[in-house]
A and B are shown apart, each in its own frame.
Chain A
Amino acid sequence: MIHRSLLRYRGARYLWWALILIAGSSVLYATQNRDIQPPNGGTWQGYVLGTIGALLIVWLTLLAVRKRSYRSTNGSVQGWTSAHVYLGSALLIVATLHCGFQFGWNVHTLSYVLMCIVIFSGFFGLYSYINNPQLISSNREGGARSLLFAELFELDKQSRSLSQRCAPAVAIAVDSGIERTTLGGGVYAQLFSRDHSYFLRESSKGSALVRNVDQQALIDHVAERLPRAEKGTEAANLQQLIILLCRRQAVVRRLRRDIRLSGWLKIWLYFHVPMTVALLVALVLHIVVTFFYW
């Protein structure tokens, strides 16, 4: 295969490393003599597992540096990332075996919990990295997001100019509908495709802002006018306008989906990295505190 994903890098060699690490840690864990004390981080096996775990955490964090050391010939970033994913997963087992399931309300368990958050956010990140690019690419039909926007702006222009040739209420509805189409927004809005689009509906009772989620209400509004059209030309224009608005709806849907998928592709790193910093702090405290109970 000419392109290979990071999971299959070099025949998934780091998967084998991870499995060997897990197997070795399990064996080590099993050698603890339960008669003296329950398995915990304080036995010599616990210390060994703990040291392995700590070193692993430091090395995993160093991906941030390797990724940005562009002249480095120390492997490739893809290799490092592949190892990062597999060995980071194995860390979950190693750290759990190290602590021997001894949990409490203390800085030790805090480190463990932070580590789990980091690892699970990493799983989510891996999932989106494997899943989303293909979805984004097919959603964009091979182009770039800017092409979709260009298409949208072109449709906006055409819709506006066509609506000017229809009844004033239609022109107002379309103009306002286009102006008040929302895409993206804050983090929540992007990730969950919130749609706060509105349009202005003119009626005998005055004008009112109507919700226009998914552009459907605007399309329906224009469609309602069609059987009540007064001139033949108006009906033809309305037909054409409906087609334009439907195309617009399709493009807006694509854009919303693109924003959402791209958002999820990026958001997890905003957890993964700050949590790692917190983990490093907690880890240092955890190690220092242990020395008081030498």
Chain B
Amino acid sequence: MPTFNIVIIGAGPAGLSAAARAADRDRRAGRSTPSYLLLEGFNEHAKTIQRYQKGKHVMAEPGFLDLRSDFAFAAGTREKILGAWGEGLKRGGVNIRYGAEVKKVSGSKGAFAIQLTSGETFQAAHVILAIGLEGNPRKLGAQGEDHERVQYQLDDPKEFRDETILVVGAGDSAIENALALAEQNDTWILNRGKEFSRAKDANLNAVVAAITDPRRRLNCYYETSIKSVAPSTDPRAPTLTVVLQTASGEKTVQCHRIIARLGAIPPRKFVESIGIKFPNDRSDAIPELSRHYESNVPGVYVIGSLAGYPLIKQAMNQGYDVVEFIHGNDIKPADHPLLEYQFHGLPFERSADEMVERFQQLIPMFRELNSLAFRELIIESDMLASYSVGAEHADAEHKMAQLRKKLAGKDPQPRSTRIIREGESIYEPGEFGTSFFTIVNGEVMLETAAPQSIRTTLGRGEFFGEMSLLSGRPRLERAIAGAGCIVVETPRRTMLKLMNSNEEVRSGIDWIFVVRELQRHFAPFASLRELRAIAARVTLRQYKAGQVLFKEGEVGDSLFVLRSGGVTLSRVQSEGDKLVSQVRSGHLVGEMALMGDPVRRETATATVASDAIEIKRKEFLELTRRGDARLDPLQRSVSKSVVDNARMQVRPEAGSLMNFLMDEGLGEATDVLIIDDSLCVGCDNCEKACAETHGGVSRLDREAGATYANVHIPIACRHCEQPHCMKDCPPNAIRRSEDGEVYINDSCIGCGNCEANCPYDVIRMVYEAPKKPGLWSWLLFATGNGPGEQPDYQPTAKAKEKGKKAVKCDACVSVSGGPACVRACPTGAAIRIGPEQFIDLVEERKR
């Protein structure tokens, strides 16, 4: 049995880099036979990237991290990167075996036995798992599943023309492939179920529309699967004879090929069979690893996306590092300098590693976290340090300025300590920010806004900012830096990832959110300790869109604090349910039942996915019977709601209009363009203004969109509270400014995820528009097309090379003077409003 020091499983970026490092070490040691072996189940290196679309642009994020590997890697096309690695394999004489799928790994450190599916076995002292998360595609599970015309991947849908193709599967990949193929082929989707329930909304709508449209070449067999595939015996018929199992029996069809997109078998079972433990049952769980990437099985190391690092550059760095670790060289990881920059401005003399360790100890909620995960957190966050005004502050700023000058060449600039002044506001009420703050040292004061300004002081180990993190609402209070405070500001994405993988963090944040909401609404002077007992007895509830919180007529014994999302209240009338009110996140729902009138007078329904805290009567009474309870404002707001709801009830047309706004999704909008159809003359100056202030491409479609009672909602971004487009943006190009505008910055790579995710169709993928002659030239000499987007403009060759990028309304965040559409409307038909003004819009419809 061949014996090696290291066996690397998986020839993706991580595995390649590890093998290259091992190869280089062998060369330096003058070995004639390799001390390592790289095993790859596929017949080529980097299978996942081989499967990317032709010409796909591959990013080299994160930009500020240096590459440390014997193989080259830089942002570029898939072909260039694969070519560079192919070169590296040849030049380095890397010891790689293809077609070597590993079936089993057994043994212990120093003597592992790696068995392939072919039966061949190798022995190794150490094993590196670099197998990625893709797994092997699930096969048809029918006879003939390996026929060459049965594909599990579709690289280029345009490759086939006028064929009859069966697409098996009901997920996003199957739908996307089927829609693309249907352009030129007769395509049939085989769906095992009755619906396409797993697909993203955009895909579900698109596929159903295509299937029901008789002009499109796409049809669907529901409740159908493949029983067998055989080559056709008739030379004139298409290549394959397929027997289908349908709900009404068997059916035989002919086709030219089958594309099966049935998902991948995740590699978790294989990993667990080696003895590696996962912390929980979640599908996105990653194994626990030491600082050296060693798993709980000594001698087995895990790197790359399986270790929780899905980025290529990180994976390659890890490949390099892990081989060095195995050889006893305890090098500092490639991201070590990043930690040093973060700590540079702190008044401590300890090393970066020591400080990371100490910080983790100081924050109770993060103490049990995997040390690697905590380290990642620090690197992805901003470090804030306050100094008292004067010499200290000036010195610290000077020190950081020097560091920044040194780092000026790097693009983007890596994060470094942010120096702030003692007494400075970290954030103000009304600002749109979604980051989360943890205090490592010193104090931070939270000051609530009017009507009562109450100050709370938070110290080491405590955190704040969770309300905006969870709901997307603007900040409600002012956060003021105390003396000598050190605060970690973690962006939302990182925080959500952490909360999803770590129960302790999630429940810790949930808990403090509940306590602070109780404080805000009911007992502003109570301390957190006093509210602890009550907080433990309230319930956190989650509602899907359309789910009911409570029904009209029920006897109510609880109220709800809406944490995120939105709720509408409606009353039953003779003509059907009428909407009387909408409640946004951060507000109370159903409090009237606990204050005077126990019968629910409305039905409360969630308009979008919402979270709420349910507080029962007993806890409510405990809160409000305190000496410092603020009952007056509560009672006043209840009285006002009663009147408002009654007014809406007696004006059913106002309720219908509000219903219309909610149906159009304005329940989650923060800034929406509304056009009064009785004032609009159709001059399209708003669209022209939008195009002219945004590089010749309009982000607004005035004429499209729904209308009701003279209120027209054109197709333009509504800057949702929790933007759907942000969910899935790989380069994180979609941001929200402090004033709430959601915009797409220059790092867009044109992947189109945002366009597919947006339920309101406000995003387009377009090429850059060519430059036009100026306004005066057009006015006087009729050159060019005039203001506005030129329909069917021809992009320049350079623009075509850059590719299509996502564009949408950004509320003119970079235009001084604010939204151009509103300023350009001659008749005053176009206005932009926020949700607080919906009631005005709905009530004053006198026309």
Contact = CB atoms under 8 A, between A and B. Distances in A.
Interface of A: 1-6, 9, 64-65, 67-73, 76-78, 80-81, 129, 132-134, 137, 142-144, 262, 265
A73 B689 CA distance: 13
Interface stretch (B226-234, B507-515, B604-612, B826-834): B826-834
Given A2-B841, A129-B681, A133-B679, A77 B775 contact: no
A4 B707 CA distance: 19
28 contacts: A2-B841, A2-B844, A3-B828, A5-B679, A5-B827, A6-B827, A6-B828, A65-B779, A67-B685, A67-B824, A67-B826, A68-B692, A70-B688, A71-B693, A71-B815, A71-B816, A71-B817, A76-B824, A76-B825, A77-B685, A78-B828, A80-B826, A133-B678, A133-B680, A133-B829, A134-B847, A137-B677, A143-B707
Interface in B798-835: 815-817, 820, 822-829, 831, 833
A67 B681 CA distance: 15
Given A3-B676, A64-B779, A133-B681, A73 B826 contact: no
A130 to B, nearest CB: 9
Contacts of A1: 844
Contacts of A143: 707
B538 to A, nearest CB: 38
B259 to A, nearest CB: 35
B825 A78 contact: yes
Contacts of A78: 823, 825-828
A65 B775 contact: yes
A64 B841 CA distance: 31
A286 B209 CA distance: 66
Interface in B663-715: 676-682, 685, 688-689, 692-693, 703-704, 707-710
Nearest to B678: A134
Nearest to A3: B676
Contact of A70 (B681, B692, B708): B692
A275 B1 CA distance: 98
A174 to B, nearest CB: 24
B681 to A, nearest CB: 5
B840 interface: yes
B787 interface: yes
B837 interface: yes
B677 A142 contact: yes
Contact of B710 (A68, A81, A134): A134
Place the interface of chain B in its size category: 35 or more
A142 B693 contact: no
Contacts of A71: 692-693, 815-817, 820
B823 A77 contact: yes
B823 A76 contact: yes
A133 B682 CA distance: 9
B58 to A, nearest CB: 37
Top-10 shortest CB links A-B: A73-B817, A134-B678, A3-B676, A142-B707, A70-B689, A81-B826, A137-B677, A70-B692, A76-B823, A78-B828
A137 B828 contact: no
A144 B844 CA distance: 24
B829 A265 contact: no
A262 B826 CA distance: 17
Given A64-B779, A71-B817, A129 B677 contact: no
Nearest to A74: B817
Given A68-B787, A134-B710, A137-B677, A2 B827 contact: no
Contact of A69 (B709, B775, B825): B775
A4 B689 CA distance: 20
Contacts of B688: 68, 70
A207 to B, nearest CB: 35
Contacts of B840: 2
A45 B641 CA distance: 63
Contacts of B779: 64-65, 68
Given A3-B679, A68-B688, 11 more contacts: A2-B841, A9-B828, A67-B824, A70-B823, A78-B825, A129-B681, A132-B681, A133-B680, A133-B829, A134-B678, A144-B704
Interface in B201-249: none
Instruction: Report which residue of A1, A2, A129, A143 has the largest number of chain B beta carbons within 10 angstroms of its beta carbon.
Output: A2
Contacts of B833: 2
A143 B712 CA distance: 9
A171 B693 CA distance: 55
A71 B787 CA distance: 12
Contacts of B704: 144
A116 to B, nearest CB: 23
B693 A68 contact: no
Contacts of A134: 677-678, 710, 847
A3 B831 contact: yes
Instruction: Report which residue of B678, B775, B831, B841 has the largest number of chain A beta carbons within 10 angstroms of its beta carbon.
Output: B678
B820 A70 contact: yes
B693 A77 contact: no
A69 to B, nearest CB: 7
A225 to B, nearest CB: 33
Instruction: Report which residue of A68, A72, A129 has the largest number of chain B beta carbons within 10 angstroms of its beta carbon.
Output: A68
B517 to A, nearest CB: 31
Given A73-B817, A142-B708, A68 B829 contact: no
Contacts of B829: 3, 133
A184 to B, nearest CB: 16
Nearest to B675: A3
A70 B824 contact: yes
Nearest to B817: A73
A281 B822 CA distance: 34
A262 B703 CA distance: 14
B806 to A, nearest CB: 22
A134 to B, nearest CB: 4
Contacts of B692: 68, 70-71
A181 to B, nearest CB: 24
A70 B678 contact: no
A72 B817 CA distance: 8
Contacts of B676: 3
A72 B677 CA distance: 26
Contacts of A68: 688, 692, 775, 779, 787
Nearest to A8: B828
Contact of B827 (A65, A129, A142): A129
Given A68-B787, A78-B827, A137 B685 contact: no
